[in-house]
Chains A and B, each alone.
Chain A
Amino acid sequence: MSVGLTGGSNPFRSVSRRDTIRKWHSHLMLVLCIGAVLIALIPLLSILFEVFRQGLPALSYDLLTKRQYFQYFAGGGIANALWGSVLIVGTASLIGMPIGILAGIYLSEYGQGRPAAVVRFFADVFAEFPSIIIGLFAYGVIVVWTGHFSVFAGAFALSVMLVPIVTRTTEEALHLVPDSVREAGLALGLPRWRVTGSVVLRAAKGGLLTGSLLGFSRIFGETAPLVVTIGGSLFFAKGLDDTSSSLTYVVWRGATSGIHAAEVRAWGAATVLLLVVLAINISVRVITSRRAER
């Protein structure tokens, strides 16, 4: 294929000093950006590295299957804390997710005007609320009322944290469903609740799952609300009314004890915690990238 005559001086060639300065400027900025990213990554990677360096050797079959024998001495494992975390976060999810999802549906599909604006405002405020204050609220309501620490008090605190997170992620996931899809449903003579339930929610289910998992992993790593609500028992919680420990509780108690055996246990618990949270976040990635492919 002919490209025509070439020759003479090519006007597109850059020769001026200004062009050279501009190019160096661009290179410099790129280097600065990459540098900033590296600086931001160093603490994150060093946390991962240090937790795994100290924690992986502490992992053992006993650690995962036996309960703690002592708060501050060696012996036993952290199975009671693992069970406590699952029970507390599971209960919090059972309470918080339905409320959060329904509130998100309300905001996205029905919420207009002032009432919705108020709900949205409070959801935003509570999503960023200091967790220790939510913990003390649960303490004041549940612990003081029942007279003892309990799984339920911790789950209540975490569910209060979970509701606004799930509300906003649900609302955002539903907003991603185009209005044309809602119109299509309504124009077929489907009642609004049908369109919401069978068309809009179905279209948004990946987003809902993602939001719920992120909320779950967020409260799974919470410490402060549990410190003041669950009591930190060495035994397996026998029910919602019982006291319990949690992974984060073991980390907090051990790390601040100054006693070696408890610190080792804390590293182990921190490793398990990190692995669970990583697993959840990676599975969220997998879900969302699969959806993006389609």
Chain B
Amino acid sequence: MVDPAVGARRTAPALRETPSTKVAIGGLRAWFGSKQVLSDIDLDLPALRAIAIIGPSGCGKSTLIRTVNRMHELVRGARVEGRVVVDGHDIYAPGVDAVAVRRRIGMVFQKPNPFPTMSVGGNVAAGLRLNGVRDRAVLDAAVEKALRQAALWDEVKDGLDQPGVALSGGQQQRLCIARALAVGPEVLLLDEPCSALDPIATSKIEDLITELKERLTIIMVTHNMQQAARVADYTAFLYLGKLIEFDRTRRIFETPTQELTEKYVTGRFG
């Protein structure tokens, strides 16, 4: 099957904004203090696909996705150089508001982090409500839609006023996905979303990712190579802050062009 979005490209292309590219990363470098964690990343991520970022611990996977919604710079001493272009607009251009960027690029974290004082419904509505949406009917509709998209509606529809933190770990993570979806992002970043979950909850999240990529672009960091193989259309392999290889997931796992990639995906290091 030839993917029309990227054609028959074999390796990561240089920064080029084809219409189907959702996020184009060019010459991206990132630091924590004086420690450089990403060096010269070039990556074109296609729209409406699930993209996995794999690599050993400390290779910069999380930092990479945190530069895509400008969360990286929130850490004290953290710094970014280079370009991250979303739909043709550089999110690091002068005058760009990081808050506006984050409304369009949602994020879900490793550990489920529902707002502790809010109900299930309150958590999902939070992004809209705290940005000034007051209309009860609009909020209720958005809550239901987001919970349905996150495949959680049937489990929580009778307990929307229960505390969000009372849900199970897997439900909490889907709640966090629903909360992110409710503000209508075009890109969803997932930072090891299943690492704190059991296998059943994990498979629910994976099914969800497969559904969600119909509507938005998913970029997920994962430690779990089987997970990347199961859900991602494309996979990027990072090692020591450098992009080693980026390609269709199948190629990465079956016929990688780099020796390092092959060693990693076959479990010989990492």
Contact = CB atoms under 8 A, between A and B. Distances in A.
A in complex with B:
yes
Secondary structure of the A contact surface, majority rule: helix
A197 B220 CA distance: 30
Contacts of A86: none
B131 A189 contact: yes
Contacts of A112: 76
Interface string B73-117: 010100000000000000000000001111110110101011111
Interface string A198-213: 1100110100000000
A42 B196 CA distance: 50
A219 to B, nearest CB: 29
Nearest to A189: B103
A180 B176 CA distance: 12
A189 B102 contact: yes
Interface string A177-197: 110110111111111001000
B69 interface: yes
A186 B126 CA distance: 11
Contacts of B126: 185, 188, 190, 198-199
A199 B127 CA distance: 11
Contacts of A202: 115, 117-118
A49 to B, nearest CB: 42
B115 A187 contact: no
A185 B111 CA distance: 14
B113 A181 contact: yes
B22 interface: no
Interface in B38-95: 69, 71, 74, 76
Given A187-B69, A190-B130, A198-B130, A181 B116 contact: yes
Nearest to B115: A199
B150 to A, nearest CB: 14
B115 A191 contact: no
B174 interface: no
B194 interface: no
Interface in B160-191: 163, 176, 179-180, 183
B100 A203 contact: no
24 contacts: A112-B76, A177-B116, A181-B113, A181-B115, A183-B71, A184-B109, A184-B114, A185-B130, A186-B102, A187-B69, A187-B71, A187-B109, A188-B103, A188-B126, A188-B127, A188-B130, A188-B180, A189-B100, A189-B103, A189-B104, A190-B127, A198-B126, A199-B130, A205-B117
A189 B113 contact: no
B130 A184 contact: no
Interface residues on B, range: 20 to 34
Contacts of A177: 116
A292 to B, nearest CB: 14
B183 A188 contact: yes
Contacts of B102: 186-189
B113 A184 contact: yes
A199 B76 CA distance: 21
A102 B209 CA distance: 42
Contacts of A203: 115-117
Contacts of B100: 189
Nearest to A187: B107
A191 B116 CA distance: 19
A181 B117 CA distance: 11
A203 B114 CA distance: 11
A188 B117 contact: no
Contact of B115 (A184, A186, A189, A194): A184
A187 B130 contact: no
A241 B144 CA distance: 58
A189 B104 CA distance: 8
Most A CB within 10 A of own CB, among B106, B116, B179: B116
A44 B102 CA distance: 56
Contacts of B109: 180, 183-184, 187
The 3 tightest CB contacts between A and B, nearest first, are A189-B103, A187-B107, A188-B127
Contacts of A189: 99-104, 127, 131, 183
Nearest to B104: A189
A188 B106 contact: yes
Contacts of B180: 187-188
B74 A186 contact: yes
A290 to B, nearest CB: 14
Contacts of B118: 202
